[in-house]
């Protein structure tokens, strides 16, 4: 008399097949996702330069008739400058914190600018030593 026993579970071949399929999918997807964080950081820096900080600088200029000087820097958007020329109608703060780029470096600001007549605003990018990844408003 033979009693048949049913075994439940997966065989080693089935498990290996699933592992190979997952590995192949990962090998196709991971290279597509690498580098996306750098692209996202560059997009944030560009939005800051062309949008957020630019808007704060324009509001400062509307209130005071001039942009902060290079010496006053972007901190003039957060606290009223006490150095000359002292703004007469400072109505800030125009931003909450001194802005830093997504890589942790402060944005570079100059007014009047060398590339534009009003102001230059840029980020040194991921590699501050290389000008190839700089993000600027000119």
Mean pLDDT split into 10-residue runs, the chain, 138 residues = 68 85 82 74 91 93 95 95 92 92 93 93 87 87
For residue 40, whether the previous peptide bond is cis, meaning omega lies within 30 degrees of 0, is: no
Q: What is the pLDDT of residue 92?
A: 87
pTM tops 0.85: no
How big is the CA angle at 35 (ends 31 and 41), to the nearest 5 degrees? 155
- Are 127 and 134 in contact by the 8 Å Cβ rule? The answer is no
Enumerate the domain spans of the chain.
39-136
Question: From 1.25.40.10, 3.30.700.10, 3.40.190.10, 3.90.550.10, which CATH number describes the 39-136 domain?
Answer: 3.30.700.10
Q: What is the pLDDT of residue 110?
A: 96
Q: What is the pLDDT of residue 104?
A: 92
Separation CA 118–CA 65 (nearest Å): 12
Sign of CA dihedral 79, 84, 86, 87: negative
Cβ-based neighbours of 68, under 8 Å, separated by 6 or more: 57, 60, 74, 76, 77, 81, 109, 111
Secondary structure tally for the chain: helices H, strands E: 3, 3
Three-state SS at 108: strand
Q: What is the pLDDT of residue 122?
A: 94
């Amino acid at each position: 008399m033979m009693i048949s026993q049913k075994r439940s579970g997966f065989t080693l071949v089935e498990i290996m097949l699933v592992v190979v399929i997952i590995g192949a999918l990962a090998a196709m997807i991971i290279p597509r996702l690498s580098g996306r964080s750098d692209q996202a950081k560059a997009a944030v820096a560009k939005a800051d330069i062309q949008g957020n900080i630019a808007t704060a600088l324009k509001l400062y200029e509307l209130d005071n008739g001039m942009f902060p000087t290079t010496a006053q820097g972007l901190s003039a958007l957060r606290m009223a400058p006490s150095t000359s020329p002292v703004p007469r109608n400072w109505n800030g703060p125009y931003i909450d914190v001194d802005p830093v780029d997504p890589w942790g470096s402060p944005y570079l600001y100059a007014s009047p600018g060398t590339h534009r007549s009003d102001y230059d605003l840029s980020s040194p990018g991921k590699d501050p030593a290389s000008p190839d990844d700089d993000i600027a408003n000119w």
